[in-house]
């Protein structure tokens, strides 16, 4: 049988797709799925399958997969659960070896018999399955967004893997809206066959992915997950959010995906053991994965801050102390050189440096000087006001310095919104509050300290 990585490659890199259950009715998910694929810019061949229509959304349709006249690489299935196994048999007869099942109505709905029939049929036919009960997947290098929504078109360095369809889509959409983008988004669903470990192994080999945001409700095979996560994490950093920590949460996870949620303290220890970065909530997962995907790997925990706002600098200082980051005192010689930049009289030249200035060049100069004195492992620029020219200045800094660099941009109206997108399109992480920036940076620092010894041989970029 096709191995998991190959099966996922067939799905995500498919050059021809049959969409079983495609619809002309905008009220149906079969319409949304085909429409999203088309709007995402997919260039492969599309074959809608609908027993009652000769055309679907203007594309010739076929009554069954076996009626499609051409070869098909992968099949997307969105029909009632009782009919899915039959479609798998048709797909296998057509030579298909990978399918994604977006249909719900299996174990999560009290029908484990249908899910067992599905698994058994797939094994007998040699077809590998993603799902069932998923919202779909996206793979930006193939311009393929096989999801109900949204149509993902912004490529980027972060991959999203999630058990929940809504969580997967939300993370991907946040990245798109901010200009960060994604390489891939894969929804796991019930994991009757392909599971989170298979997806991690695929992403480990994916040249377009630099870091992974992973959302889990339960693990199908905990031992395999630890083995795979440890190996993958040495190549691509993984931030993970596991829900179902409380008794009520575990019950909710079970009803949602039909899986069993394990004990949280065991999972916490496992994360520490293999060096995964664990997030406490969805926002933290996104912020942390962004840092891991874009920042140079920090070599230590020393943080140098330059801010337009004294209040913003204080927020950073408080959060940094709480999270184990150190704001080192500045050498007197550096302070004298900072005075040479002609800062405003109200400036404070202690770390965090308060520069109430609208000159992007002054911020660039301050960090350039600090880099020469090697005072920090990470530099954080905090813009609490609109600073024209900030994008160009920060881009120049990113090319010039060797330490990690991040930006908090939390004030400035239209200048702020446009600058955040432009910076993240350039691969520089930006967070909308000082506290979120520090949380993400501290997580990136913590990952370095948790990694096994063999990680030291890996290049300084994640």
Domain range annotation of the chain? 1-138, 154-294, 297-457
**One fold for 154-294 and 297-457:** yes
pLDDT, one tens digit per residue, over 128-159 is 999 999 999 999 999 999 999 889 999 999 99
Query: Does position 244 have pLDDT exceeding 90, yes or no?
Result: no
Give the strand order in the sheet containing 404-409.
Answer: 353-354, 303-307, 378-383, 404-409, 430-431
Q: What is the mean pLDDT of residues 253-260?
A: 44
Q: How confident is the model at residue 253 (pLDDT cuts 50, 70, 90)?
A: very low
| Residue whose C-alpha is closest to residue 89's, from 131, 132, 120 | 120
Q: Which fold has domain 297-457?
A: Rossmann fold (3.40.50)
What pTM value is reported for the model?
0.91
Q: What homologous superfamily is domain 1-138 in, according to CATH?
A: NAD(P)-binding Rossmann-like Domain (3.40.50.720)
pLDDT, one tens digit per residue, over 405-444 is 999 999 888 889 999 999 999 999 999 999 999 999 999 9
Q: What is the mean pLDDT of residues 68-87?
A: 97
Separate counts of helices (H) and strands (E) for the chain: 16, 19
Query: Does position 259 have pLDDT exceeding 60, yes or no?
Result: no
pLDDT score for 267: 86
Q: How would you classify residue 44: left for phi > 0, otherwise alpha for psi between -120 and 50, otherwise beta?
A: beta
pLDDT score for 160: 98
Q: Please state, as a whole number, how many other Cβ atoms lie within 10 Å of the Cβ of residue 319.
A: 19
- Cis peptide bond upstream of 150, omega within 30: yes
154-294: which CATH number, 3.40.50.300, 3.40.50.460, 3.40.50.261, 3.60.130.10? 3.40.50.261
pLDDT, one tens digit per residue, over 53-70 is 999 999 999 999 999 999
- Cβ atoms of 63 and 51 within 8 Å: the answer is yes
The structure tokens listed for 67 are: 């009626």
Torsion sign over Cα 111, 114, 115, 117: positive
CA 196 from chain centre, in angstroms, equals 14
């Amino acid at each position: 049988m096709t191995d998991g990585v190959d099966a996922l490659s067939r799905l995500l890199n498919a050059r021809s797709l049959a969409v079983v259950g495609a619809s002309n009715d905008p009220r149906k998910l079969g319409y949304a799925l085909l429409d999203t694929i088309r709007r995402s810019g997919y260039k492969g061949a599309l074959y809608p399958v609908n027993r009652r229509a000769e055309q679907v959304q203007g594309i010739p349709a076929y009554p069954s997969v076996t009626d499609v006249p051409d070869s098909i690489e992968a099949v997307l299935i969105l029909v009632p659960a009782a009919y899915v196994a039959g479609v798998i048999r048709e797909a296998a007869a057509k030579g298909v070896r990978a399918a994604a099942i977006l249909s719900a109505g299996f174990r999560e709905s009290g029908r484990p018999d249908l899910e067992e029939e599905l698994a058994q049929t797939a094994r007998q036919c040699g077809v590998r399955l993603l799902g069932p009960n998923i919202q779909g997947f996206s793979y930006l290098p193939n311009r393929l967004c096989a999801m109900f929504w949204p149509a993902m078109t912004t490529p980027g360095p972060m991959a999203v893997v999630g058990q929940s369809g809504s969580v997967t889509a939300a993370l991907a959409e946040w990245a798109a809206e901010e200009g960060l983008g994604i390489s891939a988004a894969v929804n796991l669903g019930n994991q009757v066959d392909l599971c989170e470990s298979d997806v991690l192994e695929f992403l480990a080999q994916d040249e377009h992915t630099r870091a992974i945001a992973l959302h889990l409700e339960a693990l199908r095979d905990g031992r395999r997950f630890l083995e795979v996560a440890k190996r993958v994490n040495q190549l691509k950093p993984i931030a993970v959010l596991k829900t179902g920590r409380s008794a009520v949460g575990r019950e909710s996870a079970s009803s949602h995906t039909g899986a069993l949620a394990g004990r949280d303290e065991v999972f916490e220890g496992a994360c520490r053991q293999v060096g995964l970065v664990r997030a406490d909530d969805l926002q933290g997962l996104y912020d942390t994965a962004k840092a891991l995907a874009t920042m140079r790997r920090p070599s230590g925990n020393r943080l140098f801050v330059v801010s337009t706002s004294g209040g913003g600098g204080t927020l950073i200082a408080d959060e940094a102390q709480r999270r184990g980051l150190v704001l080192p005192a500045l050498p007197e010689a550096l302070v004298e050189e900072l005075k040479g930049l002609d800062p405003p009289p109200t400036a404070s030249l202690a770390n965090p440096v308060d520069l109430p200035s609208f000159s992007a060049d002054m911020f660039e100069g301050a960090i350039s000087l600090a880099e020469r004195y090697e005072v920090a492992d990470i530099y954080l620029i905090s813009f609490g006001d609109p600073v024209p020219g900030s994008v160009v200045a920060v881009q120049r800094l990113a090319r010039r310095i060797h330490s990690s660099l991040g930006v908090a941009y939390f004030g400035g109206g239209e200048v702020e919104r446009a600058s955040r997108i432009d910076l993240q399109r350039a691969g520089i992480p930006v967070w909308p509050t000082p506290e979120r920036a520090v949380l993400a940076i501290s997580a990136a620092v913590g990952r370095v300290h948790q990694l096994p010894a063999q990680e030291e041989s890996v290049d300084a970029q994640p």
